[in-house]
């Protein structure tokens, strides 16, 4: 006879499920509550030792949608409205901020242990249906929507002509996809900040970018689209292109996939180039240098992939810092300039990435979990 894994003295529903204990299934209670007519107060009575604590733990686990939303945010799938909710919730109390940091550490651990895909498979259509039903009666039951605020911000500012500006700041390790007011679509990479108006003017469309973004601009010949960065401005009519312009790294690179763009300095009209498809321009020593694109894999970051070609080890570490929100200190000079080529999925985790690099470069690393620092020797 098969041994049964009985949860003696355990009444935490999530723990019982995660550790694969046997229990009396009472999930039908959720359906009864959500589909029936509910009063402002629902009294649930049962004799002693009849599973009241277990039932309440089950309801709490189901109705608390914080983790689903947090994990969706950690994976880079949260919408702008969800990000706003996360920010507001996180700033509401120090306890919420601590919960955010705790769940982020747990999420990283789940990725490393390979449990994330298993957890995704456990999410059923039935649960999604119950969530939709529950949201219909949200005026009766209070939902705490938990999210991570210290990791990002969404707000509004005003420019010199009093045009309301929307500001999106993407946290480390995340990426965001959004539609602009004119129908253009943009992907924002980790550590990126972009400002854009709530509605574009009739004669111009302008956004301000600090970071990396991939644009698919809706064509409008009467209303040019302009991307302003710390180094250069990019003028387009309708096209697909990638821009890397992190002000902290003092880098600028624009790569054109489709259409035509004009890259120019806002301070010197003579510093300007017109790019054709399959070409990129990089700012070096104050000059724009044009090259043919020889590897499109590096633009697959919007798919959750980190791809690099002939890139120095130290620059790879800088990118990993941005993707995993920690500090990496390289204490081995002999490997700093070693150029590497490769790719891996960001969701595989930092430890996996470092193990991949160790196949080509000899180094060891130590993690200081308290200070979120990786030491490489």
pLDDT, mean of residues 12-39: 66
| pLDDT value at residue 74 | 65
| pLDDT value at residue 163 | 55
Pair (188, 242) in one structural domain: yes
For residue 141, tell me if it sits in a domain. no
Q: Is the model's pLDDT at 364 over the cut of 80?
A: yes
Q: Would you state the structure tokens that stand for residue 294, as one six-digit string?
A: 């020889």
| pLDDT value at residue 371 | 75
Pair (158, 194) in one structural domain: yes
Residues 54-74 as b/e (b if ≥16 CB within 10 A, e otherwise) read bbebbbeebbebbbebbbbbb
| pLDDT value at residue 362 | 92
| pLDDT value at residue 160 | 41
For residue 148, tell me if it sits in a domain. no
For residue 8, tell me if it sits in a domain. no
Q: Is beta strand 225-228 parallel, antiparallel or unpaired with respect to 205-216?
A: parallel
Pair (251, 173) in one structural domain: yes
For residue 345, tell me if it sits in a domain. yes
pLDDT, mean of residues 199-226: 88
Pair (283, 250) in one structural domain: yes
Q: Which residue in 286, 313, 295 sits closest to 242, CA to CA?
A: 295
For residue 147, tell me if it sits in a domain. no
| pLDDT value at residue 143 | 21
Pair (125, 28) in one structural domain: yes
Q: What percentage of the chain carries pLDDT values higher than 70?
A: 68
Pair (205, 127) in one structural domain: no
Domain ends where: 136, 168, 194? 136
Pair (128, 54) in one structural domain: yes
Q: Is the model's pLDDT at 233 over the cut of 80?
A: yes
Q: Which region among 17-21, 204-208, 255-259, 324-328 has the lowest average model confidence (pLDDT)?
A: 17-21
For the domain that residue 212 is a member of, what is the CATH number? 2.60.120.1440
For the domain that residue 358 is a member of, what is the CATH number? 3.55.50.30
For residue 6, tell me if it sits in a domain. no
Range of the domain at 354: 304-376
For residue 144, tell me if it sits in a domain. no
Q: Is the model's pLDDT at 36 over the cut of 60?
A: no
Structurally, how many domains does the chain consist of?
3
Band of residue 135 on the pLDDT scale cut at 50, 70, 90? very low
Pair (249, 203) in one structural domain: yes
Task: Decide which of 13 and 363 is more confident.
Answer: 363
pTM recorded for the entire structure: 0.57
Band of residue 216 on the pLDDT scale cut at 50, 70, 90? very high
Pair (311, 288) in one structural domain: no
Task: Decide which of 43 and 306 is more confident.
Answer: 306
Pair (39, 70) in one structural domain: yes
Q: Is the model's pLDDT at 79 over the cut of 90?
A: no
Pair (160, 286) in one structural domain: yes
């Amino acid at each position: 006879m098969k041994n049964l894994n009985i949860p003696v003295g355990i009444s935490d529903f999530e723990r019982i499920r995660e550790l694969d204990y046997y229990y009396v299934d009472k999930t039908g209670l959720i359906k009864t509550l959500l589909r029936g007519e509910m009063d402002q107060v629902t009294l649930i009575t049962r004799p002693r030792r009849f599973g009241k604590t277990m039932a309440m733990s089950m309801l709490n686990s189901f109705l608390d949608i914080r983790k689903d939303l947090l994990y969706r945010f950690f994976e880079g799938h949260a919408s702008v409205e969800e990000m706003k909710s996360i920010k507001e919730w996180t700033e509401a109390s120090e306890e919420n901020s601590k919960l955010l940091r705790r769940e982020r550490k747990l999420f990283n651990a789940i990725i490393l242990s390979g449990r994330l895909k298993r957890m995704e498979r456990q999410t059923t259509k039935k649960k999604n249906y119950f969530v939709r039903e529950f949201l219909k009666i949200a005026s009766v039951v209070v939902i705490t929507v938990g999210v991570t605020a210290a990791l990002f911000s969404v707000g509004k500012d005003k420019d010199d002509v009093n045009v309301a500006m929307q500001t999106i700041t993407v946290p480390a390790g995340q990426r965001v996809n959004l539609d602009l007011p004119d129908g253009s679509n943009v992907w924002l990479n980790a550590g990126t900040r972009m400002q854009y108006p709530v509605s574009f003017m009739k004669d111009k469309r302008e956004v301000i970018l600090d970071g990396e973004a991939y644009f698919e601009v809706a064509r409008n010949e009467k209303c040019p689209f302009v991307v302003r960065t710390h180094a250069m401005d990019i003028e387009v009519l309708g096209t697909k292109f990638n821009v890397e312009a992190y002000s902290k790294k003092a880098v600028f690179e624009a790569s054109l996939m489709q259409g035509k763009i004009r890259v120019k300095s806002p301070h010197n009209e003579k510093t300007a180039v017109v790019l054709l498809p399959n070409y990129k321009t990089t700012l070096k020593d104050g000059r724009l240098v044009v090259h043919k694109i020889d590897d499109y894999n590096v633009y697959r970051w919007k798919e959750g992939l980190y791809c690099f070609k002939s890139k120095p080890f130290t620059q790879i570490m800088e990118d990993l810092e941005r993707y995993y929100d920690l500090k990496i200190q390289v204490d081995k000079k002999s490997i700093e300039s070693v150029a590497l080529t490769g790719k891996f999925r960001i969701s595989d985790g930092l430890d996996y990435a470092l193990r991949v690099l160790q196949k080509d470069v000899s180094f060891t690393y130590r993690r200081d979990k308290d200070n979120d620092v990786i030491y490489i020797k």
